[in-house]
Amino acid sequence: MAYFYRVPIGEFLKERLTFLEIRTVQRIVKEEDAVIEVVDDTSPAVVSVVQKKMVLDFFSGPLSQKQGIGTGFIIRENGVILTNRHVVSDQDAEYSVVTADGTEYEVKEIHRDTAYDLAILKVSASGLPTLSLGDSDQIKVGQSVVAIGNALGRLSNTVTKGIVSGIGRGITAGGSLGGDTEELDDVIQTDAAINPGNSGGPLLNLSSEVVGINVAVASEAENIGFAIPINLVKSAVDQFEQTGKIVRPFLGVSYYLITEDAAKVQDLPRGAFVQEVVAGSAAQKAGVKAGDVITAIGGGSITEKNSLAKIVLKYEVGDKVSLTVVRNGKTIALSATLGESQSD
């Protein structure tokens, strides 16, 4: 037998709204707690990168000038630190890192990656706090992320929160102080505020794992920042720890990616449009020319999610790869033996 109870509609709605309000508050509190926990767990391993350089003053002569220019994070207790290459691009300068508790360490070694905007720093220390590297292949659009960095070069361990806004983006990145720029493919887009000085800092999931290295902010827009997926740099870290240097297979072209949409608009094939060929490189020896569009390497098509750089990094130095190239509307097949590109 079924029993039915009459409840006044006003009381029912009031109870229902109260229930929803409680659930909303619980959800917000849980997320806030998670973010606070991430910050507490990871901040000790985030460092400010400081540049020291001799400058000439008209009245006083040579002066040593120090300024905070970026961020890094410690991944090994013995002082191995990751940051962006463009943060430490000035090879005439000296660098140090400052931890959250104010301790300063002189950077003894800098290894600049030639494939990605990555640099590995080494300081003389032991027992340092570290961050765990997560799996950037598992991130989803819409998931919450936290960025920590040295905002504006003087506000150390500034925390911002947002979501993953997109994956597989292509951007042109460079330092806030000017200098070299480069094309980066397959980066993470986030609306977590990434300010000048945040470059090289960690993008973290709510499990306190690094899923990306903050690399750039879109200066012409708001709430659009980018990070290099951490999985793209793990091989460089492994190689550095095994050999003490970063060695990459090298094709030898600078290019920009022609996306599927751009290909339709410009009536061009989808792939890597070659802007310049490095003299003496594997690409030059294979016959690649500026103006070519490389559409595939080793049978792997070049797309937004499968960039030229990403495909090349699957091979070893000395490997022979086939290139599918479109030149003046005609498809031709070339063969290249990949060279070696070492870190600076």
Query: 3-state secondary structure string, the chain?
Result: CCCCCCCCHHHHHHHHHHHHHHHHHHHHHHHHHHHHHHHHHHHHHEEEEEEEEEEEECCCEEEEEEEEEEEEEEEECCCEEEECHHHHCCCCCEEEEECCCCCEEEEEEEEECCCCCCEEEEECCCCCCCCEECCHHHCCCCCEEEEEEEECCCEEEEEEEEEEEEEEEEEEEECCCCCCEEEEEEEEEECCCCCCCCCCCEEECCCCEEEEEEEEECCCCCCCEEEEEHHHCHHHHHHHHHHCCCEEEECCEEEEEECHHHHHHHCCCCEEEEEEECCCCHHHHHCCCCCCEEEEECCEECCCCCCHHHHHCCCCCCCEEEEEEEECCEEEEEEEECEEEECC
Homologous superfamily of the 44-123 domain (CATH): Trypsin-like serine proteases (2.40.10.10)
Q: Is 117 a catalytic residue?
A: yes
- Predicted local confidence at residue 55, as pLDDT: 56
Predicted structure pTM score:
0.75
- Which of the residues 89, 113, 117, 343 is marked catalytic? 117
Q: Is 111 a catalytic residue?
A: no
- Predicted local confidence at residue 181, as pLDDT: 53
User: What's the angle, vertex CA 198, arms to CA 67 and CA 342, rounded to 5?
Assistant: 85
**Domain 246-342 falls under CATH 2.30.42.10:** yes
Top-confidence residue, 62 or 195? 195
Whether residue 4 has pLDDT greater than 50: no
Q: Is 319 a catalytic residue?
A: no
Mean pLDDT of 217-233: 79
For residue range 148-181, list pLDDT tens digits in order.
Answer: 988 765 667 889 999 999 887 766 654 444 445 5
Other CB atoms within 10 Å distance of the CB of residue 312 = 24
For residue range 230-279, list pLDDT tens digits in order.
Answer: 998 998 999 899 889 888 898 999 888 888 888 888 888 999 999 999 99
How buried is residue 294: exposed, middle or buried, by Cβ count under 10 Å (0-12/13-18/19+)? buried
- Predicted local confidence at residue 176, as pLDDT: 45
Mean pLDDT of 206-232: 84
- 136-240: CATH topology: Thrombin, subunit H (2.40.10)
For residue range 89-142, list pLDDT tens digits in order.
Answer: 888 889 999 998 899 999 999 999 877 889 999 999 999 999 999 999 999 999
- Predicted local confidence at residue 5, as pLDDT: 42
- Which of the residues 48, 199, 281, 343 is marked catalytic? 199
